[in-house]
Amino acid sequence: MPVQKNKDLGSEDRRVDALLELFFNIYGHEKMILKASKLGALNLLRSAKVPRQVLGLQRLILEDPTLKEPPAKKLIPGVLEELEDELATQLARRSLEKSIEQKVRRKVEERHEEYLREIKSQVVKDISGIETPHTLRKYAEIEKMYSRELSRSAMEMLRPGSIDEIIGQSKAIKSLISMLASPHPTHILLYGPPGVGKTTAARLALQEAKKIRHSLFSKQAPFVEIDGTTLRWDPREASNPLIGSVHDPIYQGARRELADVGIPEPKLGLVSEAHGGVLFIDEIGEMDLQLQSKLLKVLEDKQVYFESAYYDSTDPRVPKYIKLLFERGAPADFVLIGATTRLPEEISPALRSRCTPVFFDPLTPGDITRIIEGAAKKLKVEFDPGIPAMISSYTGEGRQAINLLVEAYSRVLYTGEGAPAPRITGRLMQEILQDNRLLPLTRICSSASGEVGKTTALGVSGFTGSVLEIEAVALPSALPGKGRLRFNDTAGTMTRDSVFVAATVIRSLTGLDLNDFDLHLNVIGGGNIDGPSAGAAIFIALLSALKKIPVKQDCVVTGEISLQGALKAVGGVVEKIYGARLAGFKKVIIPEGNCDNLIQGFPDMELITARGIPDLCSHFFSPSVLKSLFPTREG
């Protein structure tokens, strides 16, 4: 407001009154009185003199109680102008504040419920941390689930609890414990058919090794178990539960407090979890070759090294443990025990070269019987005589045998048969075997009688031996010299070669021209023979059919026949002997060259070595027949 010159004092008085009235309208009567009293302006405002009133307005509007002297009369218009400007500024500010308060009030009203929820949530967090009613309810539900746990499963209860309870694997267990308890333990590969106790033996062997004084394993040494069929190599290196991986902050998401500042987080794998103990990988032969290669690298370094483009060693925000893992690596010093049902030649040579092999034998019918008897004692169930033998004739796996017993036990409890003491009858066991669609392991049995043109050979598949029935028929051909030779095409090319070799040896031995006969050779069941080991049995069957002489049926044979009539060594002899025992044979003829490779663990079997045709025939034909075949042979 411009200063008006040559005005009388009355106009200044009115301006003072107008300013007081405006101030009163802004702050109200009570607030203005309190403020004027506080600033020492109340008495000045009540004065009849305009200069004193102006001084009071200065203290009130400028909020400055230090002002002492009233302005001179000629300066009053300019002072009033300044006070009007200041009051206008305050009025504008107050109006703006009022407008903002109204907007804030409107927003608060609009989001009142949301604000209340946020405030309540914050209060709950302040009181109970990260827990919420929802998380607490979930916690209570899980605690309730723990209280409803069932009893141990049958397999868990019947699993061997000590080394002495593992049946039929004393040699393998002795080797396993001795290697683990050594001051310089080696990595181990366990070979054997399924269900013979490889996993249980490895777990219990570690416990036994801890008890030995010179063992390197502490009482707290871990036993980390994993199935190789579940391990897969990720080419992106985003996840590797076996070796370990790095969770980058952008793509894979490290922990939030690390991701927010761009720090990668290493995740330790099972190899580090097994540090100082044993890493057991079941079905190790099923692992990816790339993953096997990475595992071999860990076995050599005994460390796992991590890399990440996001790691900055100079970043002061990197936690010490992450810096340690990136710079020194994660420790991974353990003993690897791998188990497989594959043959050694099917396992990676690089893995085989770093491990000591331990072979688990196929379970014999006697072993299955002992397993069934031990499990029945733990279940407190009785059974009719012959039940263990019945089960052993249908399965050679300890795990499956126990499952059959448990199923029969459960059926007895369900039907109430034999109450109050449960008892498994032969009729019930036969019903269980039929329900499981099981067939006898073999229908061939040893016989004291003789048959023309029939012998029994031995085969092997994996770690399991089997018997093969071979029969031959020789008929005079319709036209001399136009005879035909027939045999199973499914038997394989090696069988064809064995037949031709046998025919040549027979002609050389007897002078018979096989072209004068129609010969038919049959492998009962259509089995495929992928090696020459059935050559000896084919020779005996053809010779018997051509000469019409009976063959003893109380022994089996394996071996390759050469053109000179020698019996050559073959593979898989141990497994074949097990197969012969399973079929009820007590007498097995093997090549002399296999004698050194035999495991002396068959006290109930008669193992006979043969060098050539005369030795071989002496166990299949009667002395009179031998004399006619080999007139110069003594005895």
- How far apart are the C-alpha atoms of 118 and 112, rounded to whole Å? 10
Return the SS3 of 240. Answer: coil
Segment 72-96 shows an average pLDDT of 80
Cα-based angle 15, 20, 24 (whole degrees, multiple of 5): 145
Task: Name the pLDDT band for 70 (thresholds 50, 70, 90).
Answer: confident
Return the SS3 of 568. Answer: strand
Look at residue 61 and tell me whether its pLDDT is greater than 70. Answer: yes
Mean pLDDT (the chain, rounded): 82
Helix, strand counts (H, E) of the chain:
24, 22
Return the SS3 of 599. Answer: coil
| Tens digits of residue pLDDT in 518-544 | 888 888 876 667 668 888 888 999 998
Among 145-149, 196-200, 577-581, top mean pLDDT goes to 196-200
Helix, strand, coil share (%) of the chain residues, nearest 5: 50, 15, 35
Look at residue 54 and tell me whether its pLDDT is greater than 90. Answer: no
| Tens digits of residue pLDDT in 287-339 | 888 888 889 999 999 999 988 888 888 888 888 888 898 899 899 999 999 99
| Tens digits of residue pLDDT in 238-253 | 678 888 888 777 655 5
Task: Name the pLDDT band for 152 (thresholds 50, 70, 90).
Answer: low
Task: Name the pLDDT band for 2 (thresholds 50, 70, 90).
Answer: very low
At 603, which amino acid appears? P
Look at residue 149 and tell me whether its pLDDT is greater than 70. Answer: no
Percent of the chain with pLDDT over 70: 85
Look at residue 1 and tell me whether its pLDDT is greater than 50. Answer: no
Structure tokens at 563: 């053109």
**Of 272, 308, 576, 618, which one is the catalytic site residue?**
576
CB atoms within 10 A of CB 85: 12
At 572, which amino acid appears? G
576 catalytic? Reply is yes
Report the candidate in 192, 211, 203 with the shortest Cα–Cα distance to residue 163. 203
Look at residue 210 and tell me whether its pLDDT is greater than 60. Answer: yes
533 catalytic? Reply is yes
| Tens digits of residue pLDDT in 87-118 | 788 778 878 888 888 887 777 777 666 766 76
CB atoms within 10 A of CB 123: 10
Strand-pair partners of 454: 471
Structure tokens at 48: 């009849």
| Tens digits of residue pLDDT in 408-466 | 999 988 887 766 778 899 899 999 999 999 888 766 666 777 889 899 888 887 777 78
Task: Name the pLDDT band for 358 (thresholds 50, 70, 90).
Answer: very high
Sheet holding 187-191, edge to edge: 223-227, 278-282, 335-340, 187-191, 355-359
Domains of the chain, earliest start first: 9-107 (no CATH), 169-249+263-359 (3.40.50.300), 365-435 (1.10.8.60), 450-629 (3.30.230.10)
- How far apart are the C-alpha atoms of 106 and 102, rounded to whole Å? 6
Run of H or E including 352: helix 349-353
Confirm if 82 and 75 have CB atoms less than 8 A apart: no
- How far apart are the C-alpha atoms of 27 and 21, rounded to whole Å? 10
Buried b (16+ CB within 10 A) or exposed e, 295-322: bbebbeeeebbbebebbeeeeeebeeeb
Structure tokens at 215: 């063992």
**Of 392, 533, 544, 618, which one is the catalytic site residue?**
533
* pTM passes above 0.95: no
Report the candidate in 281, 290, 156, 294 with the shortest Cα–Cα distance to residue 230. 281
Q: Any alpha helices (H) in 416-532, and if so which ranges?
A: 426-435, 493-510
